[in-house]
Structure 1
Amino acid sequence: MQHLRNIPAGSRQFSALALLTAMTLLMTSACSREQAGADLPRFKLDASRTTVSGLSSGAYMATQVHMAFSDHVAGVALLAGGPYGCAGGDLETALTRCLNPEADKSPDVEALASLAKSRAAAGSIASLDGLAGDKVLVMHGSLDTTVAAGVSAAGAELYRKLGGAVVKTDMGRAMAHTFPTLATGARCDHSESPYIGSCGFDGAGDILGQLYASDADAAEAATGDLRTFNQNAYLPEGEDALLADTGYVYIPKACSDGATCGLHIAFHGCQQNAASVGEAFVAEAGYNRWADARHLVVLYPQTRASYAPLNPKACWDWWGYSGADYDTRNGVQLRWLANAAAALGVALK
Structure 2
Amino acid sequence: MKGPASDQNIKHFTNQADAKASAGEIDPLSNLARQNIYLFHGYNGAVVYKAAPDAAAEFYRHDLGDGKRGNLFYQTVLGAGHSFVVTKQNDAGLNDCSANKEPYIDQCGYDQAGIILQHIYGRLNPLNCGQLAGTLKSFDQSLYTRPHTAEPGR
Calculate the TM-score normalised by the size of structure 1. 0.36
In the alignment, the residues of structure 1 paired with residue 133 and residue 19 of structure 2 have an alpha-carbon distance, to the nearest angstrom, of 45
From 222, 231, 238, give the equivalent of 2:144: 231
Q: Which has the higher contact order (CA 8 A, sep 6+)?
A: 1
SS at match of 2:76: strand
Q: 1:135 Cα deviation (Å)?
A: 1.0
**Partner SS state of residue 113, structure 2:** helix
After superposition, give the CA deviation of every residue in 1:127-171 in whole Å (9 maximum; x if it has no partner). Answer: 112112311121110001111222111111101112355222211
Letter in 1 for 2:34: G
Runs of 5+ unmatched residues, structure 1: 1-98, 239-349
In structure 1, the residue matched to 2:18 is 117
Counterparts of 2:149 and 2:52 in 1: how far apart (Å)? 32
Segments of structure 2 that go 5 or more residues without pairing to the other structure are: none
Q: Does 1:101 align with 2:10?
A: no
Cα distance between partner residues in 1 of 2:108 and 2:62: 32
Q: Match of 1:202, as an amino acid?
A: D
- Partner amino acid, structure 2, of 1:231: Y
Name the counterpart of 2:84.
179
Aligned to 2:75: 170
- Give matches, 1:1-349, under 5 Å: 99-105=1-7, 107-163=8-64, 165=68, 166-183=71-88, 184=91, 185-220=94-129, 229=141, 230-232=143-145, 235=148, 237=150
**Which residue identity does 2:9 align to in structure 1?**
D
C-alpha distance after superposition, 1:244-299 (max 9, x if no partner): xxxxxxxxxxxxxxxxxxxxxxxxxxxxxxxxxxxxxxxxxxxxxxxxxxxxxxxx
Larger of the two Rg values belongs to structure: 2
Identity %: 24
Q: Tell me the distance in 1 between the aligned counterparts of 2:147 and 2:39.
A: 30
SS in 2 for 1:172: coil
Tell whether the 8 Å contact from 1:109 to 1:154 is kept in structure 2 after alignment.
yes
Q: How far apart are residue 202 of structure 1 and its match?
A: 1.1
Question: CA separation in 2, counterparts of 1:151 and 1:130?
Answer: 23
Match of 1:345 in 2: none
Deviation, structure 1 residue 100: 2.3
The alignment covers a number of residue pairs equal to 139
Structure 1 residues 163, 223: closer, same or farther in 2, change over 3 A?
Answer: farther
Aligned partners of 1:236 and 1:212: how far apart in 2?
36
Query: Relative to 1, partners in 2 of residues 1:188 and 1:117: Cα closer, same or farther, differing over 3 Å?
Result: same
Q: 1:226 to 1:134 in 2, by over 3 A?
A: farther
What is the TM-score with the length of structure 2 in the denominator?
0.75
RMSD: 2.7
More strand by percentage: 1
Contact 1:100 1:145 in 2 (8 A): no
Contact 1:186–1:197 (8 Å) recurs in 2: yes
Deviation at residue 189 of structure 1 after TM alignment: 1.2
- Map Cα deviations across residues 29-78 of structure 1 (whole Å, 9 max, x no partner): xxxxxxxxxxxxxxxxxxxxxxxxxxxxxxxxxxxxxxxxxxxxxxxxxx
SS in 1 for 2:41: strand
Of stretches 192-201 and 122-131 in structure 1, the one that deviates more from structure 2 is 122-131
